[in-house]
């Protein structure tokens, strides 16, 4: 055993297990099988990109340095990485292909910056369900076994396409053989490489020093470094307890399958917490959504972003909520709601579109074919149907008649409409902003309100009705002339 592995063995297991010094996330690939202009690692999975999800799991282990290796659409991927963590070290891989080359570039640049010491986690970024618990288990096993290197593995019933983990008679890892380089016996192995590793930094630096591309792919394989690491100490493997957590995504078929499997788990977890989900097959819930007990989620509902649903609320059917807050007892049916707070016992829908910035208080209503944007509706007020309410505040217990519009845009600015409490708005009204209507006002049907109205008043627009007896449209008159 070399000096490296002897020194490594003398380190305290507890201190190593609790420390991750460097994390290298591989995000340089194009992902050609996705057939997309978007880099694979920036595709969405349950509301977050692959890269963001992996970075979050790695971040939970609190590494001193996190590096992301980029190449394909490097600026775009680097920007996404920095959006999540502005302190991340971005490593540019050169044109030499392969994961081994990616790590060589990372080690060279991190060493030059004085950031390459201790334990090193390496993770691919195309495993959207890779979780912190799995990474902690791998790091702990690596430390407990005093390994020079440890690979995270799993067993698959259908291992085609994955690198196979080849062990010796004592169970030690000999090497990893990629699918295209494997013989028949090796292809029969069901234990596969997940592309997640922990190395001692000194071992890794030596093991990748002279990698070559003499293989079927013509790439520098990081897996070859495991075989070389045996020269410096033990190379072990830790099997992930959940194969779903380490399943990679190479094409859109795999993406759909993995997303569905994940969503089923999410729905089942919420049902065990006391939430009724009538049809998990058609209900999609992202990870940052929060749902209180006794809420009901009806078929065809999509709950996205930081949506919060209160106790006893009913959502759906066929409803999309994005960053919405739905208080206890509210009902949202066949609607799209984004960036909006809906108060207790409020009634929304069907076919309601609530754009960002709305705040609807308790016992309010936004009914069929109502659109709102930056509307503040106080307790008990109702906009039952066929209306647009934008940049508006409505007081308490006001009723807005069907076909009402707040004309908020003058071609340059969005202007505010203020409608007081206990106001009865007639059907077919138009409020030309900026305009204020006081409390206890009644407006006549068909009114165009251009000027402020004081409280305790009635306002109406006097339109003269003209009747033209015997009138016919021009096309009908022309047809009659032609007939003659």
Angstrom distance (rounded) from CA 45 to CA 286 = 9
Q: Is the pLDDT of residue 89 over 60?
A: yes
From the list 250, 187, 179, 188, the residue with the least C-alpha distance to 215 is 179
- What is the phi-psi region of residue 25: left when phi exceeds 0, alpha when psi lies from -120 to 50, beta otherwise? beta
From the list 320, 174, 284, 319, the residue with the least C-alpha distance to 236 is 174
Mean pLDDT of 449-468: 93
Between 27-41, 43-57, 170-184, 256-270, the lowest mean confidence (pLDDT) is in: 170-184
pLDDT class for 278, splitting at 50, 70, 90? very high
What's the token pair of residue 385? 């149907």
Q: Hey, is 315 helix, strand or coil?
A: strand
pLDDT score recorded for residue 462: 85
Please give the mean pLDDT across all residues of the chain: 93
**What are the tens digits of pLDDT across the range 366-385?**
999 999 999 999 999 999 99
Mean pLDDT of 278-284: 98
Mean pLDDT of 331-347: 99
Mean pLDDT of 436-458: 98
> What is the set of active-site residues?
385
pLDDT score recorded for residue 5: 39
Domains, the chain, in order of start with CATH, read 22-246 (3.90.550.10), 252-459 (2.160.10.10)
Give residue for tokens 């993770």: 123
Give residue for tokens 């292909």: 97
**Residue 68 β-bridge partners:** 25, 90
Q: Is the pLDDT of residue 2 over 50?
A: no
Angstrom distance (rounded) from CA 63 to CA 340 = 37
Q: What is the largest CA-CA distance in the chain?
A: 112
How far separated are the first and last CA of the chain, in Å rounded? 111
pLDDT score recorded for residue 180: 87
**What are the tens digits of pLDDT across the range 386-414?**
999 999 999 999 999 999 999 999 999 99
Give residue for tokens 């959207």: 128
Binding residue ranges for Mg(2+): 126, 250
CB-based contact 180:163 (threshold 8 Å): no
Binding residue ranges for UDP-N-acetyl-alpha-D-glucosamine: 26-29, 40, 93, 98-99, 163, 178, 193, 250, 355, 373, 388, 399
Q: Is the pLDDT of residue 155 over 70?
A: yes
**What are the tens digits of pLDDT across the range 53-88?**
999 999 999 999 999 999 999 999 999 999 999 999
3-state helix, strand, coil in the chain (%, to 5): 25, 30, 45
State what percent of residues in the chain have pLDDT above 70: 96
Angstrom distance (rounded) from CA 169 to CA 361 = 69
pLDDT score recorded for residue 3: 41
Angstrom distance (rounded) from CA 300 to CA 322 = 14
**Strand 149-155 versus strand 235-239 pairing type:** parallel
Q: Is the pLDDT of residue 14 over 50?
A: no
Q: Is the pLDDT of residue 22 over 50?
A: yes
Among 167-171, 186-190, 226-230, 308-312, the range of highest mean pLDDT: 308-312
Q: Is the pLDDT of residue 215 over 60?
A: yes
From the list 327, 289, 331, the residue with the least C-alpha distance to 311 is 327
Angstrom distance (rounded) from CA 216 to CA 330 = 60
pLDDT score recorded for residue 19: 64
* CA-based torsion, 261, 267, 269, 271: positive or negative: negative
pLDDT score recorded for residue 178: 87
Q: Is the pLDDT of residue 351 over 90?
A: yes
Between 139-143, 169-173, 270-274, the lowest mean confidence (pLDDT) is in: 169-173
Q: Which residue has the higher pLDDT, 442 or 172?
A: 442
Q: Is the pLDDT of residue 9 over 70?
A: no
CA 170 to chain centre: 43
CA 79 to chain centre: 17
Q: Is the pLDDT of residue 18 over 80?
A: no
CB-based contact 410:391 (threshold 8 Å): no
pLDDT score recorded for residue 161: 83
Mean pLDDT of 129-138: 97
Mean pLDDT of 44-61: 97
pLDDT score recorded for residue 8: 44
Binding residue ranges for acetyl-CoA: 408-409, 445
Mean pLDDT of 353-376: 99
Query: For residue 330, what are the contacts with CB-CB under 8 A and spacing of at least 6?
Result: 310, 313, 314, 342, 343, 344, 345, 346, 347, 348
State what percent of residues in the chain have pLDDT above 90: 85
Binding residue ranges: 26-29, 40, 93, 98-99, 126, 163, 178, 193, 250, 355, 373, 388, 399, 408-409, 445
pLDDT class for 170, splitting at 50, 70, 90? confident
Q: Is the pLDDT of residue 360 over 60?
A: yes
**Residue 153 β-bridge partners:** 193, 239
What's the token pair of residue 439? 């409390």
pLDDT score recorded for residue 247: 92
């Amino acid at each position: 055993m070399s000096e490296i592995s002897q020194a490594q063995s003398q380190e305290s297991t507890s201190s190593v297990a609790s420390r991750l010094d460097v994390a290298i996330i591989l995000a340089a690939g194009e992902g050609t099988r996705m057939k997309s202009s978007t880099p694979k690692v920036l595709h969405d999975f349950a509301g977050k990109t692959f890269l963001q999800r992996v970075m979050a799991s790695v971040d939970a282990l609190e590494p001193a340095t996190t590096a992301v290796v980029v190449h394909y659409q490097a600026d775009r991927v680097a920007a996404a990485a920095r959006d999540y963590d502005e302190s991340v070290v971005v490593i540019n891989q050169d044109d030499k292909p392969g994961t081994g080359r990616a790590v060589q570039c990372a080690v060279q640049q991190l060493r030059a910056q004085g950031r390459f010491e201790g334990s090193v986690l390496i993770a691919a970024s195309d495993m959207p369900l890779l979780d912190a618990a799995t990474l902690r288990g791998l790091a702990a096993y690596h430390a407990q076994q005093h390994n020079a290197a440890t690979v995270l593995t799993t067993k698959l019933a259908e291992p085609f396409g994955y690198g196979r983990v080849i062990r010796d008679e004592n169970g030690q890892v000999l090497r990893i053989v990629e699918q295209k380089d494997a013989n028949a016996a090796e292809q029969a192995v069901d234990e596969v490489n997940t592309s997640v590793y922990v190395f001692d930094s000194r071992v890794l630096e030596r093991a990748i020093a002279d990698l070559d591309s003499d293989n079927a792919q013509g790439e520098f394989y990081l897996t070859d470094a495991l075989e070389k690491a045996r020269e410096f100490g033990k190379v072990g493997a830790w099997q992930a307890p959940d194969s779903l957590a380490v399943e990679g995504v190479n094409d859109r078929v795999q993406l759909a399958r993995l997303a569905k499997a994940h969503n089923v788990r999410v729905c089942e977890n919420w049902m065990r917490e006391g939430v009724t989900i009538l049809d998990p097959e058609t209900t999609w819930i992202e990870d940052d959504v929060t749902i209180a007990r006794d809420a009901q989620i009806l078929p065809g509902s999509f709950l996205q972003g930081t949506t919060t649903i209160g106790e006893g609320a009913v959502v759906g059917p066929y409803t999309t909520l994005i960053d919405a807050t739905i208080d206890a007892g509210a009902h949202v049916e066949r609607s799209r709601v984004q960036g909006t707070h809906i108060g207790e016992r409020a009634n929304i829908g069907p076919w309601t579109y609530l754009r960002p910035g709305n705040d609807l208080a308790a016992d309010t209503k936004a009914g069929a074919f109502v659109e709102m944007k930056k509307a503040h509706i106080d307790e008990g007020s109702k906009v039952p149907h066929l209306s647009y309410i934008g940049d508006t505040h409505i007081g308490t217990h006001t009723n807005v008649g069907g076909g009402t519009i707040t004309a908020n845009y003058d071609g340059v600015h969005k202007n505010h409409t203020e409608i007081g409490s206990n106001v009865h708005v007639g059907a077919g009204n138009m409020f030309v902003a900026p305009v204020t209507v006081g409390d206890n006002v009644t407006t006549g049907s068909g009114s165009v309100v251009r000027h402020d109205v004081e409280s305790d008043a009635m306002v109406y627009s006097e339109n003269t009705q003209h009747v033209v007896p015997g009138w016919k449209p021009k096309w009908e008159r022309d047809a009659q002339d032609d007939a003659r």
